[in-house]
Amino acid sequence: MAHPIRASDQGVLVDVLVVPNASRSEVVGLLGDRVKVKVASPPHKGMANQAVIDTVREATGVKRITVVAGRTTRFKTLQLADASLPAVEEALSARS
């Protein structure tokens, strides 16, 4: 099983499982081979994607985050540009 948080040439890649329409937006933590992220937004017109980016940004402090895979599914890969792998791992794993 691949680790959901890993280094890349541009920073850090994070595989996430998104739960839309949650009561609140939060990073839940590691769940198997994904980081579970709940968002209050519905999966409509990119609103959930932006909510995922905002939620991970708040948890990690990384400003430049993009969805690089899975724009229309619950299974996404995020690119955290110029981020430190240990800092991202600590911020997202500590919540589990």
Q: What is the pLDDT of residue 85?
A: 94
Model confidence at 79: pLDDT above 80: yes
Give the rounded distance of the alpha carbon of 2 from its chain centre. 16
In the chain, what are the domains? 5-93 (3.30.1200.10)
Residue range 1-17: average pLDDT?
91
- Is residue 44 very low, low, confident or very high in pLDDT (cuts 50, 70, 90)? confident
Whether the pTM exceeds 0.75: the reply is yes
Burial 43-62 (b: 16+ CB within 10 A, else e): beeeebbebbbebbeebbeb
CB 50 within 8 A of CB 40: no
Whole-number Å distance between alpha carbons of 95 and 10: 25
Average pLDDT over residues 19-48: 93
